[in-house]
């Protein structure tokens, strides 16, 4: 009878190591296959996303799934400030909405910027139901969507030098623009001739309501919000407006540098603003844009300008804050262009920015401003 003996210990160990190695090799192969498969899947997904994003920006259209996946906001609110180039931007948006197939809601409510809490809630709810991507625009003071439990959109806006904004509004209400001087009759049908032809210097120096606070406290409330204190010139309103800009606004540009504003908007919101600068500089658009320039504007006297500036102390502090933030945005995105005067402006706006140092050089700076008109 044959006897069976256990193999020596070193042979048993060798067999065990071989068996374990075979098992380990099979596990490594499985893991390698899984890793390669996942890696290939990630690369494919990334390629599809990049290709889809590129096609969207080039062709102006994409599926809703791709829109939601884009690393850009798909909800934009432009609570446009009056007489700060908003008609120029709305004209551009109408062209862009048709070209890029986004929903544009441009409200024709111009004289109701302050809303009750219930009106705010209703408006925010209505805006939030607009099909994506959308851009909503209206003359309305800042709306805090998160306060009402809604998704926060990207807020954008444009402002201009406060003094030039006031003068543009003063003469526009009286004489309209190049679209037809009869427009002023439609806009202010109840204005009597003695008010319509009121000399701007008289209005300022004799402290008419239209040329004094709170009428001159105009830009800040658009960023401060709906709180009653936002309507009163104060440090609180100024600081609240600054904080809202930092926390809620994607971009607040300057009308004095409108072409750079459009370039930044194209970079930040390409599925809304791609090719906007080419449209803005085209002869076809220029013909439309020139019709919105206010007519019969006059320059106040040096004395009147000095009084006007003093009454706009908070407005200028906010304007200078926005100018600083806007130039920081330009620098971050690589735009090193110099400030240019927009065709929408009167030609004085670049010089008006010199009023930053008005306290020490009031007369010289105001004279420079006047020479540019």
Strand bridging mode 154-159 / 249-254: parallel
Cβ neighbours for 323, distance < 8 A, ≥ 6 positions apart = 254, 353
**Closest alpha carbon to 341 in 259, 251, 279, 281:** 259
The catalytic residues are 139
Instruction: Return phi, psi of residue 265, to 5°.
Output: -60, -35
Q: Is 157 helix (H, G, I), strand (E, B) or coil?
A: strand
Contact status, residue 101 vs residue 188, Cβ threshold 8 Å: no
Contact status, residue 159 vs residue 261, Cβ threshold 8 Å: no
Greatest CA separation for the chain: 136
CA distance 34 to 41: 10
Instruction: Return phi, psi of residue 352, to 5°.
Output: -65, -25
How much of the chain is in helix, strand and coil states, percent to nearest 5?
A: 60, 5, 30
């Amino acid at each position: 009878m044959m006897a069976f003996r256990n193999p020596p210990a070193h042979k048993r160990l060798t067999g065990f190591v071989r068996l374990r190695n075979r098992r380990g090799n099979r596990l490594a192969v499985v893991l390698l296959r899984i890793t390669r498969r996942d890696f290939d899947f990630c690369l494919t997904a990334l390629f599809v996303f990049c290709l889809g994003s590129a096609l969207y920006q080039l062709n102006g259209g994409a599926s809703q799934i791709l829109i939601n996946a884009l690393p850009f906001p798909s909800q934009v609110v432009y609570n446009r400030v009056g007489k700060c180039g908003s008609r120029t931007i709305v004209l551009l948006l109408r062209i862009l909405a048709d070209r890029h197939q986004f929903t544009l809601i441009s409200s024709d409510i111009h004289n109701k910027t302050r809303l009750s809490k219930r009106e705010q809630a209703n408006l925010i709810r209505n805006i939030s139901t607009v099909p994506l991507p959308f851009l909503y625009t209206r003359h309305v003071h800042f709306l805090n969507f998160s306060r009402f439990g809604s998704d926060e959109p990207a807020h954008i806006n444009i402002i201009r030098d406060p003094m030039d904004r006031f003068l543009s509004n003063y003469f526009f209400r009286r004489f309209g623009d190049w679209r037809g001087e009869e427009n002023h009759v439609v806009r202010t049908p109840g204005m009597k001739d003695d008010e319509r032809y009121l000399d701007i210097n008289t209005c300022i120096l004799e402290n008419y309501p239209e040329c004094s606070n709170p009428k001159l406290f105009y830009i800040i409330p658009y960023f401060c919000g709906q709180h009653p204190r936002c309507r009163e010139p104060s440090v609180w309103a100024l600081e609240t407006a600054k904080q809202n800009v930092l926390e809620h606004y994607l971009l607040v540009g300057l009308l004095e540098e409108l072409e750079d504003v459009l370039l930044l908007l194209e970079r930040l919101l390409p599925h809304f603003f791609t090719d906007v600068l080419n449209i803005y500089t085209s002869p076809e658009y220029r013909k439309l844009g020139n019709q919105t320039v206010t007519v019969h504007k006059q320059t106040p006297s040096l004395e009147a300008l000095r009084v006007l500036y003093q009454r706009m102390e908070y407005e200028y502090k906010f304007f200078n804050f926005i100018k600083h933030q806007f130039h920081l945005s330009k620098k971050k995105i690589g735009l090193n262009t110099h400030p240019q005067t927009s065709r929408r402006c009167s030609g004085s706006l670049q010089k008006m920015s010199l009023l930053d140092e008005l306290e020490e050089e009031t007369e010289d700076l105001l004279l420079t401003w006047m020479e540019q008109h």
